Structure 1
Amino acid sequence: MKPLARLLAAAALLTPATAHAQLWQTPQTTAAQAILKDYAAQGNVLKRGETTVTLDVAGNAVVGVFIEAGTVADLARGIGVGWGLTEAELPKLQANLAAPRVLTAAKKGVIELTDDGATDLIALKSTGDGAQTRFSAYVAVKVWPDSAFPATRNVMGSAAAPDTLRIFSDFQCPYCKQMWDRSAKAWEAAPEAYRTYHYQFPLTMHRNAFAAAEASECASAQGQFWPYANALFAAYEQWTPLEPKDIPATLTTYAKAAGLDPATFTACLSSHAFKSSIDAQIKAGIAVGVQGTPTVYLNGVKLQNYSDAAELARVHAATTATPSAAALIDARLKLFR
């Protein structure tokens, strides 16, 4: 999170969960907030005097809130709609919006991520001076483009599938094994519905995770990533407690069992042929807000709970609607650049 967004989020006592949850509400729920009681609704547009709050809706979910206001107080209220704030929480947000550095940034136009998990964003802009000043703001979910994710050979599912899943995982992470044994099996069984990309994100706290990631990439070089990944998770209890010095031999044993050429595999593993690739995947993961494993993105949206069918359905509806969440948000953000 950049300094301006951090200042505003702190003023509103905002957490990633509260901002994210509010933005995914239905337009009816968002419009019914108490801080909008004096606003007149015309569809997804709410007006009071010279202030307009427009709800950008995709798949019957609010994915963005666009505010046009003539005062900082009205600007704060509009942002509060996107963040689900109460009347009592607005004064502090208003005070921070009036800070000189915020007002200076707004004159140039600014777009920043709202939280360190990179789930939401805020944009601000002002025009005019003195009594003629007009403010615009936009609070929206963050939809990452395909270009934000690194290249990987580790892909399964139809290229024509409507949903793209991108998984950042760690072979020594117990929660990743849980995901692999449950949700990932369901996604694999539905290749026409899901195209799944696997990315390496070995955590430093797991001493054998990086070696396992390298081994899986060596298996991938022989066209056997998914079978080898299955073998690693199936043998999770056996290899994860081992001393690092004993790991290469064990990983080679799994390669032989999976039908890989052992000499080629061993040479790949001992030369650390894929270290730079794994490092690049970790770096890219951090850039899109990965903070732990597993982290799953559906059509560019970071999921709060990848096993929640309702969340997957909601994100699917918003990202595949016409216009899509990404199209609506990108069009709004052009106003702030």
Structure 2
Amino acid sequence: MLKLKAVLSSGLSRRALGLTAAGAALTLPLSLSACGGSAGITPAQGDMALGAAEGAKVTVVEYASVTCGHCAAWQKEVWPRFKAKYVDTNKVRYVFREFPTAPQAVAVAGFLIARCAGEGQYFDVIDEVMASQTEWQAGTPPSQSLQRIATSAGLDQQQFKACISDPEAIAAMEQRIKAGLDAGVTGTPTFFVNGDKIADSSLEALSAAIDPLLEG
């Protein structure tokens, strides 16, 4: 059984969101890769979506992690064009599903902050956390980046700590991760178009799968 054990202690330190978070442990199967995946488009508890309404002709599901380098690259290089072509025009329903990858404690904290920021800011926070990977690579502790992002989203220090240690939110995250694992997802980013896995996440490959369905 998947377990998230006290994800981030209330005594947040500079190391608390690192690879060896003090007082925090996230247990995931060893087979979970850092960034690869199989699943359908059945609505899941806690889905975050943009674009067309539920029941749209085409639904694109992305399983992603805010700590995955490939996810961050897709977010920066492909997402703006994908969003302009399909999401902003309401041609497809884009569903984002959280699937934390190593370091999992950092990923879980990032997702929890996005949810605490509220639905209206959720995707902006996700984008900021992914973009902050460059800061971590340059030596900035992930905890510092996440606290900055939380502040910009309107969360004070007390709210930030409460957010990343909320038992109910952590339990809900646990269920979302388990649902992804049960669906066969093994890594990120993983994309599905109307339930069919798309191996190539380029805009061209996604368009090749989406456009015929829109015309049909």
TM-score by length of 1: 0.45
Is 1:230 the counterpart of 2:127? The answer is yes
In 2, Cα distance between equivalents of 1:268 and 1:311: 35
What displacement does 1:153 show?
4.8
Q: Counterpart in 2 of 1:157? A: 51
What displacement does 1:290 show?
1.0
Q: Counterpart in 1 of 2:152? A: 257
CA contact (8 A) 1:167 1:199 kept: yes
Computing the radius of gyration over CA atoms, which structure comes out larger, 1 or 2? 1
What displacement does 1:230 show?
1.7
CA contact (8 A) 2:60 2:194 kept: yes
> Which runs of structure 1 show a deviation greater than 6 angstroms over 4 or more consecutive aligned residues?
none
Higher relative contact order (CA closer than 8 Å, sequence separation 6+): 2
SS of the residue corresponding to residue 238 of structure 1 reads helix
- C-alpha distance 194-182 of structure 1, shift in aligned 2 (>3 A): farther
In 2, Cα distance between equivalents of 1:211 and 1:204: 12
Structure 2: any 5+ residue segments left out of the alignment?
1-36
TM-score by length of 2: 0.67
CA deviation vs aligned residue, 1:190-218 (integer Å, no higher than 9, x gap): 32222211111112455522222222222
In 1, Cα distance between equivalents of 2:93 and 2:71: 18
Is 1:282 the counterpart of 2:177? The answer is yes
Aligned length: 174
CA deviation vs aligned residue, 1:94-118 (integer Å, no higher than 9, x gap): xxxxxxxxxxxxxxxxxxxxxxx64
Q: Counterpart in 2 of 1:177? A: 72
CA contact (8 A) 1:201 1:293 kept: yes
Q: State how 1:40-59 maps to structure 2 within 5 Å.
A: none
User: CA RMSD of the aligned region, Å?
Assistant: 2.8
CA contact (8 A) 2:67 2:102 kept: no
CA deviation vs aligned residue, 1:68-120 (integer Å, no higher than 9, x gap): xxxxxxxxxxxxxxxxxxxxxxxxxxxxxxxxxxxxxxxxxxxxxxxxx648x
- C-alpha distance 184-272 of structure 1, shift in aligned 2 (>3 A): farther
Q: Counterpart in 1 of 2:21? A: none
CA deviation vs aligned residue, 1:232-268 (integer Å, no higher than 9, x gap): 122222246666xx62x5423212223x242544422
- Aligned sequence identity (%): 24
CA contact (8 A) 1:217 1:225 kept: yes
CA contact (8 A) 1:297 1:303 kept: yes
- C-alpha distance 257-183 of structure 1, shift in aligned 2 (>3 A): same
In 2, Cα distance between equivalents of 1:264 and 1:300: 37
